[in-house]
Amino acid sequence: MSLESTTQPLVRIDGLQKYFWENDSILDRLFGNDPVPVRAVDGVSLDIHQGETLGLVGESGCGKSTMGETLLRLQEPTDGRVEFDGQNVYELSGDELTAFRHDAQVVFQDPFSSLDPRMTIGETVRQPLDVHDIGSETERDERVADLLERVGLSADQLDRYPHEFSGGQRQRIGIARALALEPEFMVLDEPTSALDVSVQAQVLNLLDDLQDEFDLTYLLISHDLSVVRHVCDRVAVMYLGEIVEVRPVDELFTEPKHPYTKALLESVPRASTDERKRDRETLTGDVPSPRDPPSGCRFRTRCPMVIPPEDMDIEQETYRELMHLRERVENRDLSLASVGDEGQFETDNGGVPDADVPAFVAALKARLLETELPPRHDAIVEEALAELADENWEAAAERLRTAYESVCERDNPSLGDGAHSVACHLHGVASERPSEPDSWT
Amino acid sequence: MISERVKSNLKQTFAESLLPKLGLVLLVSIVFMALFAPVLATHDPTRTGHYDEQGAPYPPLGHEYTAEIVQDGEIVEVPVEPTSEHILGTNNVGQDVYSRFLYGARISLLVGFLGTGIALLIGVPIGLIAGYYGGRVDDGLMRIADTMLAFPALVLALALLGVFGQSSIHVPDPLVIAGLADGMPESVPVPGTVIIVVALVTWVWFARVARGEALAIRNEEYVKAAKSFGTKDRTILRKHVLPNSLTPIIVLATIQVAAIILLEASLAYLGFSGTTLSWGYEIERGQGILRSRSWVSMVPGIGIVLTVISVNLLGDWLRDALDPNIEGEGR
């Protein structure tokens, strides 16, 4: 299969955005609360080529499923376009929309919720045929029986209800329903994550066989990297609503480029005796809220490889610590009252007395920083912390920002074109520092 | 639409407990009495003047009382004996209490079931549409519903009755026309406006429950799947959302039947009924003579209590049997 196909992609996603709005009821508008956007999908561009399986991986809540649903127009996008066979999906109506609904299908994650409990499985699989009015009554019944047998169920189970089936069987019923219209493109939204490991392989193999048989194109959404490696041709890695890396599957697994991809791969436990000694570079901190994503590169708050400002001779570890300190100062996530021994510093009336400032700074620094700083940085940090003695948060944050602002927070790296794109300042077009810092091990 | 599993649950819960059986027996007998009221009744319920020779209303069988009557310009107390002609006695205008009890059951059940039916027809579609579409449709419809809920049902009903007036439709009684019951009234008064008014104050409950269900169901993956292959909203509402939200609606409906019967009794007691053949009206009539001739109020009162209890017992049974926790997966 050609990975860098020059032909027209089957699905072309261009700048897709999907925001959900909070505080958006009539009452909120009445009281003048501004709606808060939750940026579930924020400017995703991707091509999916005929016949390939594109994996979409990322942590829970990064917007994978929303993207799958939005590109099928199960939700209206906030901005951007999706072309299917050269036509903008969001501008379709009437017969064209019906044709799109015919050609693009979805298999959902939860086999317990994806089948209507009050419909027999025969009715469930037949539904798409009824909606599109395909064939006569008897032809539809025959087709349903064929489909069920194709996914490994017997046709005499037609009259049973979903609760009489196991999770794996239900998932196969869901696949039969998606296949009923002989689609070209299927979004597989974590099709195996709710299944036992032994059943997962069955379902994946079935999907694989069906792809060959019906010449299907898949978008496989998953957080299970082993599944992705097993099934996909190319992989897109998603973080906080953005695609950070798109690569052919072998390349991605052997030499991941984006720090986030590396961290994801590192986090997979390996069945090896080396495992005990392996130094896992796990991610620190929580995923930032999609209500208020970080400026610049969205991964920078957790990135182990943030690029320090030019001419700043600093260890990555120390730099991380300083970034962390900065973040706490900016968010005012520090209790000044509890600095030093109890009652040592009077902070009630808006500041520590001038005489106590050096002691205050020393106490604060001892609490916040674990490592000894090089003198140059020590001076900057002390200046900033001295501002805190007067509860001057803004000034402290400003001091740290001017000294340590990274290219990662100023600019959001773009993904670039082609099959090997990485959205990171360390790589590709946006890169000004092609070499990786030494601190990465 | 009702699966085997639900049926077996209904049977099992029914077999396990005495209460649903009691409720069923009670309700079936009350429905039987209401249906065959003209045949079972001993007198025309509207005919007045059934007094004893002293001019006093009869007490029920096995009961004696002393009536105060005016004799020769003086008030005298005379003992009154019951008669087998009027097994539950007669009321102060001399109507047969037993016959009125039977006819009263008709009115209560008619208002209860028809009122609930109309409330269902109004409330369920509104609730399903509000919950399924959400957003402004939901905001709009639910603010109307909240406004309705803000008024006490009885006060709202009285206000609406004030607007619509009280009129009843006289429906010919098939049993009398068929000649099975001579001497009974030829038509039954159906209190039309009362039925519509109780439905108008009750639909809100169905709308709220239906909305809640639709809100949950619209996010189910089978609804998304149906959308993904292009099913129309109308079809999704009818084939997926409605069947899956029916269980709590059915349970609510049984409770509402009982509530509407009580509401009708309250309205009739206050004189807003459209017919005098109502239990509530009868209770009011006996109120002033509760000490001396308590049966006049007592008999219709017992009727109301038994009907409401029987409906509620059946409602509890349905709730227990249809509860999704008991229904459970894979049972």
Report pLDDT digits (tens) over B96-107: 999 999 999 999
Residue B330 predicted with pLDDT over 70: no
Quick one: pLDDT at residue A281? 61
CB distance from A116 to chain B under 8 Å? Answer: yes
Quick one: pLDDT at residue B279? 92
- State which amino acid sits at residue A94: G
Torsion-angle region of A100 (φ positive above 0: left; ψ -120 to 50: alpha; else: beta)? alpha
- Decide the pairing of beta strands A53-57 and A234-239: parallel
Kindly list the residues from chain A whose CB atom is less than 8 angstroms away from the CB atom of residue B229: 101-102, 105, 127-128, 131-132, 177, 180-181
Mean pLDDT of B27-32: 94
Half-sphere exposure of A355 (CA within 13 A, CB side): 2
Q: Which residue of B has its CA nearest to A116?
A: B222
CA B293 – CA B95 distance, rounded (Å) = 13
Per the CB < 8 Å rule, is B229 touching A131?
yes
Quick one: pLDDT at residue B326? 44
Quick one: pLDDT at residue A334? 75
CA A255 – CA A381 distance, rounded (Å) = 37
Mean pLDDT of B27-35: 94
CA B47 – CA B100 distance, rounded (Å) = 10
Per the CB < 8 Å rule, is B3 touching A25?
no
Q: Where are the alpha helices (DSSP H) in A75-134?
A: 94-103, 121-132
Mean pLDDT of B178-187: 83
Residue B319 predicted with pLDDT over 90: no
Regarding predicted confidence, which is higher, B3 or A63?
A63
The domain spans of chain B are 4-50+85-327
pLDDT in tens, A333-348: 777 777 766 666 665 5
Work out the number of other CB atoms within 10 angstroms of the CB of residue A343: 6
Q: What is the nearest CA distance from A161 to chain B, expressed in angstroms?
A: 8
Residue A286 neighbours by CB under 8 Å, 6+ apart: none
Phi, psi of B79 (to 5 degrees): -75, 140
**Does the domain made of B4-50+85-327 have the CATH classification 1.10.3720.10?**
yes
ipTM over 0.85: no
Integer angstrom CA distances of residue B299 from B87, B95, B257, B264: 12, 13, 21, 17
CA A96 – CA A92 distance, rounded (Å) = 6
Kindly list the residues from chain A whose CB atom is less than 8 angstroms away from the CB atom of residue B3: 118, 161
Inter-residue contact A305 to A316 (CB < 8 Å): yes
pLDDT > 70: percent of chain B? 96
Quick one: pLDDT at residue A429? 47
Quick one: pLDDT at residue B179? 83
Kindly list the residues from chain A whose CB atom is less than 8 angstroms away from the CB atom of residue B231: 127, 131
CB-nearest to B228 from A101, A109, A124 is: A101
Residues of B with CB under 8 A from a CB of A: 1, 3, 5, 136, 139, 220-222, 224-232, 235, 239-240, 243-244, 329-331
Which neighbouring-strand residues pair with A66? Answer: none
Quick one: pLDDT at residue A431? 40
CA B185 – CA B177 distance, rounded (Å) = 10
Quick one: pLDDT at residue A277? 64
The number of C-beta contacts closer than 8 angstroms across A and B is: 74
Quick one: pLDDT at residue A3? 47
- State which amino acid sits at residue B256: Q
CB distance from A113 to chain B under 8 Å? Answer: yes
> What does DSSP assign to residue B238?
I
- Cite the residue boundaries of each domain of chain A with CATH code 3.40.50.300: 11-266
Quick one: pLDDT at residue A105? 92
Half-sphere exposure of B21 (CA within 13 A, CB side): 8
From the candidates B217, B221, B232, which should be mutated to test the interface with A, based on the most A CB atoms within 10 A?
B221
Per the CB < 8 Å rule, is A116 touching B329?
no
Work out the number of other CB atoms within 10 angstroms of the CB of residue B229: 23
Quick one: pLDDT at residue A378? 80
CB-nearest to A118 from B3, B229, B230 is: B3
Low-confidence stretches of chain A (pLDDT < 70) are 1-6, 23-26, 271-282, 284-285, 311, 340-352, 416-420, 428-441
CA A238 – CA A259 distance, rounded (Å) = 12
Q: In what order do the strands lie in the sheet with A53-57?
A: A104-107, A185-189, A217-222, A53-57, A234-239, A242-248, A421-422
* Burial B101-118, CB ≥16 within 10 A → b, else e: bbbbbbbbbbbbbbbbeb
Closest CA to A436 of A316, A295, A302, A293: A316
Kindly list the residues from chain B whose CB atom is less than 8 angstroms away from the CB atom of residue A128: 229
CATH architecture observed for domain A11-266: 3-Layer(aba) Sandwich (3.40)
Give the gyration radius of chain A's Cα atoms. Answer: 27
Quick one: pLDDT at residue B75? 85
Would you place residue B204 in the very low, low, confident or very high pLDDT band (cuts 50, 70, 90)?
very high
